[in-house]
Amino acid sequence: MLSLTRSKRSESKKKHKHKRRSRSRRDKQEYIPTLIVDQIQPEVPVLWSLFGLILVSVQSVVCLMYPVGPEPWIGIGVAALFILIGYITRTLSTPPPHMAFLPALLIVLAMPLVRLFTGAEFVDAFSEPFIYGITLVWMFSWFVRSRWAVGVAAFFFILLNEYFFAIHIHGGVDGGSSNLLFTHDQGIASLVWQGGIQYRLLLLLVFITLIVLVSQSFVERSRWKSQRLFRFIMFSTLFLGIAGLLGAMILPELVPVDAMVLFGFSFGVSIAARQRLITEDPTRHPPSQLTPLIGYIEEIQIGIQSILASIIGGGTSQTGTHDDRRSRFIDAKSEVIYNPYSNSKPTWVPLTIHIHSNRWEGKFDADTVVEHFERLGSASVVLTDHNRITKSKNPFQNILAYEHGWGPHNNHVLVLGAHNRLADAHMFGGSIKDRGKTLTRLRGVSEFTILAHPRNKGAWPSDDVTRHDYDAIEVFNRSIDSYRRWDEALSSGLLVWGTAGDDCHDIRSRHQTGKRYMLVDLGEMAPMPGEPADAQSVLEALKAGRFISVRHMNRDVTREIPHPNLPLVEEFQFDGEKLKLKFNKRVDTIKVYGPFRTKRAVFTREDEISVGPVEGEGFIRIVAEHGPFLIAFNPIARVSGLEYGI
- pLDDT over threshold 60, residue 267: yes
Q: What is the DSSP string of 400-439?
A: -EEEE--SS----EEEES-SS----S-TT---HHHHHHHH
pLDDT tens, position by position, 350-386: 999 999 998 878 889 999 999 999 999 999 999 999 9
Q: How far is CA 281 from the centre of its chain?
A: 20
CA triple 309-313-315, angle to 5 deg: 45
CA gap 578, 306 in Å, rounded:
48
Each residue's pLDDT tens digit, 90-101: 443 333 334 444
Whether the model pTM is above 0.85: no
> What is d(CA 16, CA 25) in angstroms, rounded to the nearest whole number?
14
d(CA 645, CA 472): 14
Mean pLDDT of 135-160: 47
The rounded Cα 27 to chain-centroid distance in angstroms is 12
CB 545 within 8 A of CB 497: yes
- H helix intervals, 251-365: 257-280, 293-312
CB atoms within 10 A of CB 426: 19
Whole-angstrom CA distances from 409 to 387, 405, 426, 476 are: 14, 8, 9, 20
φ/ψ region of 417 (left if φ > 0, alpha if ψ in -120 to 50, else beta) reads left
Q: What is the set of domains in the chain, with CATH numbers?
A: 6-31+297-640 (3.20.20.140), 37-280 (no CATH)
Which of 323, 403, 329 lies closest to 360 in space, CA to CA? Answer: 403
Confidence of residue 557 (pLDDT cuts 50, 70, 90): low
3-state class (DSSP) for residue 497: strand
**What interhelical angle do 484-492 and 6-30 show, nearest 10?**
160
What does the pLDDT look like over 61-120, one tens digit per residue?
A: 544 454 444 344 444 454 455 445 544 444 433 333 344 444 444 554 555 555 555 555
Look over the chain and give the mean of its residue pLDDT values, rounded to a whole number. 71
How many whole angstroms separate alpha carbon 410 and alpha carbon 390? Answer: 21
Q: For residue range 225-235, list pLDDT tens digits in order.
A: 667 787 888 88
Evaluate if residue 451 carries a pLDDT over 80. Answer: yes
| DSSP-based three-state secondary structure for 255 | coil
- pLDDT bin (cut points 50, 70, 90) of residue 433 is confident
Per DSSP, 386 falls in state B
> What confidence score (pLDDT) does residue 140 get?
45
pLDDT band at 273; cut points 50, 70, 90: confident
Neighbouring residues of 401: CB distance < 8 A, sequence distance ≥ 6: 353, 382, 383, 384, 389, 414, 415, 416, 417, 418, 446
Give which of 502, 504, 505, 478 is closest to 361, Cα–Cα: 505
Cis link prior to 256 (omega < 30° from 0)?
Answer: no
**298 has pLDDT over 80:** no
| CB 153, CB 210: distance < 8 Å | no
- What is d(CA 612, CA 617) in angstroms, rounded to the nearest whole number? 9
Residues 6+ apart with CB under 8 A from 393: 367
The answer for residues whose C-beta is within 8 angstroms of residue 621's C-beta and 6 or more apart is: 490, 498, 592, 593, 632, 633, 634, 635, 636
Question: For 336-343, what is the mean pLDDT?
Answer: 90
* pLDDT of 540 above 80: yes
Residue 177 has pLDDT above 80, yes or no: no
Task: Give every CB contact of residue 73 below 8 A, 6+ residues apart in sequence.
Answer: 63
* CB 538 within 8 Å of CB 530: no
